[in-house]
Amino acid sequence: MSSYVEKALVEGEKILYIGRISLWSLFPRIFFGVLLTPIVIGLFLLVPAWVKYRATELAVTDKRVIAKFGFVSRHTIELNVAKIESVQVEQSVLGRVFDFGTIIVAGGGNPFEAVPGIADPLAFRRAFLEAQEQSLVRRS
């Protein structure tokens, strides 16, 4: 089964970076889920954590930033690289220690879009900046 990102690509578009949700950002759900599994309550924590981890796709292509959330109901964010004005990274102390954080993308009349719990958010931002630079070079 191919991913949403692969299906969403247009002709000639190339994936530059694939992001993922950090398991550390889901640690409280996983920890208490495992701890409470013997009394079944833990499954109500583990299943949503697994769904969030498996159902979230993040990518930077040479043309767009793509984020997809959800299995049954789907929420997607697809922003043209050339129209994005800023990419912010927010990290808590634990996020800095375990290298996860929230990416906030804004620009071109688009509202702020936050993507929480990304593993290695600085690499995601770096890939975006490289894609944006390539986009500017192509237009010149």
30 and 23 Cβ atoms separated by less than 8 Å: yes
pLDDT digits (tens, 9 = 90+) for 19-72: 999 999 999 898 998 988 888 888 898 998 998 899 999 999 998 888 898 888
As to burial, measured by CB atoms within 10 angstroms (0-12 exposed, 13-18 middle, 19+ buried), residue 89 is middle
60 and 14 Cβ atoms separated by less than 8 Å: no
User: What are the residue ranges spanned by the domains of the chain?
Assistant: 15-139
The pTM (predicted TM-score) of the whole model is: 0.81
Considering the domain 15-139 in this protein, what is its CATH number? 2.30.29.30
Which two tokens mark 60?
């930077």
The span from the CA of 43 to the CA of 31, in Å, is 11
The span from the CA of 8 to the CA of 80, in Å, is 13
138 and 102 Cβ atoms separated by less than 8 Å: no
pLDDT digits (tens, 9 = 90+) for 60-119: 999 888 889 888 888 888 888 888 888 899 999 999 999 999 998 887 776 677 888 999
Average confidence score pLDDT of the chain: 87
